Amino acid sequence: MAASGFWIGVEAMPLSVLCAATEHERPIFCGRLSLNQTFQAALGDVHERAEWHDVALDTAIGQGYLIDLLRQRLPLERVVLALDVSADKHYGDRFMASLDEYLVRTRSIVEALIVVTRGVEAMMPPGSGTLTVMLRGPRQAYSPLTEGLAAFVEKFVSAEAALWAEGGRSLRIERADSDE
């Protein structure tokens, strides 16, 4: 059986990443598909090679669904988790969001990061496989809160990477600064 490749958070991925992912032998795309299906249409017929799952990682049901899906599609070879830390709104010459919006977005990003890293670590066999956390957004953050959130994600991945390496697996971070 071919190993699975998961792309989680597809709504935060550049189209070029999704196109490249369809070259994987067994691509599985997960994300908030019900909110935006334009990227599926943009992929054209190529998207038919992939499995598509509507997964809301900011809910307990979505988190459980993803973990069960990971278990059902073993063995895992590659997992990419995209997190968008650049969702600030533009007001005049400043970028800002309400405190409630920051708290909800921060919680959903932190929960997704923890659920996916722990779930993949539990499902991925020792000695093989890669989890890539893809941060979407500019390197220079629009606000201190957004910059702090990106720094937290980077620090978390950096700290966890050493533990993953002990088990022969790879955990890394990648930036997707593109506005595709």
- Show the domains of the chain with their CATH numbers: 4-176 (3.40.50.720)
Rounded to an integer, what distance in angstroms lies between the CA atom of residue 178 and that of residue 180?
A: 6
> Which comes out higher in pLDDT, residue 115 or 102?
115
Q: How confident is the model at residue 93 (pLDDT cuts 50, 70, 90)?
A: very low
Q: For residue 129, what pLDDT band results from cuts at 50, 70 and 90?
A: very high
Q: What letter does residue 178 receive in the DSSP assignment?
A: -
Q: What is the pTM of this model?
A: 0.88
pLDDT digits (tens, 9 = 90+) for 12-40: 888 888 888 888 999 999 998 776 667 66
